[in-house]
Amino acid sequence: MEAVFSKEIQAGLEAARRTALRKAARLRLNVDGREHPVLRLWKSGFAIPAEGAPQLRGLVDLYDGTTHLLQCLIVKADEEGGEMRYEFKRATAVTYTAALDFERAQNAPAALITDAR
């Protein structure tokens, strides 16, 4: 059996779904000091609410709460179903240590102990 709803009820259900996604979203997008809630994140992109969404291109930062997750280069956007969808050209995970340009030995000492006599 298939349920058929009027257009008003379908629009109301869709608005409620978008509101619930927005409230549940911890992910957010930071662009030039402005923040936008991220509704969905997938391997090659993400979606934000279409209302008030800017036409973004270039470098953006993705956060989970206050944790900086990704620095992304985005290249394309499509609007569909009340969402603005952006695709990654590059998504780099944020690290808080410098990258090593050499191989670290597994048995390397953790610190240098000196004789303090």
Whether residue 2 is predicted with pLDDT greater than 80 in this model: the reply is no
Give per-residue pLDDT as tens, 26-63.
888 888 788 888 888 899 999 888 887 778 888 888 99
Distance between CA atoms of residues 102 and 4, nearest Å = 63
Pairing of strands 58-64, 27-31: antiparallel
Give per-residue pLDDT as tens, 53-98.
778 888 888 998 888 888 989 988 888 888 889 999 999 888 888 7
What is the amino acid identity at position 7?
K
Handedness of CA 81, 83, 86, 91 (dihedral sign): negative
Could you give the domains of the chain?
Answer: 26-93 (2.40.10.430)
What is the amino acid identity at position 80?
E
pLDDT at position 1: 54
Give per-residue pLDDT as tens, 97-117.
877 788 888 888 878 778 877
Whether residue 15 is predicted with pLDDT greater than 70 in this model: the reply is yes
Distance between CA atoms of residues 68 and 9, nearest Å = 39
Distance between CA atoms of residues 38 and 41, nearest Å = 7
pLDDT at position 16: 75
pLDDT at position 14: 78
| 20 vs 86: which has the higher pLDDT | 86
pLDDT at position 58: 87
| 24 vs 48: which has the higher pLDDT | 48
Distance between CA atoms of residues 63 and 70, nearest Å = 7
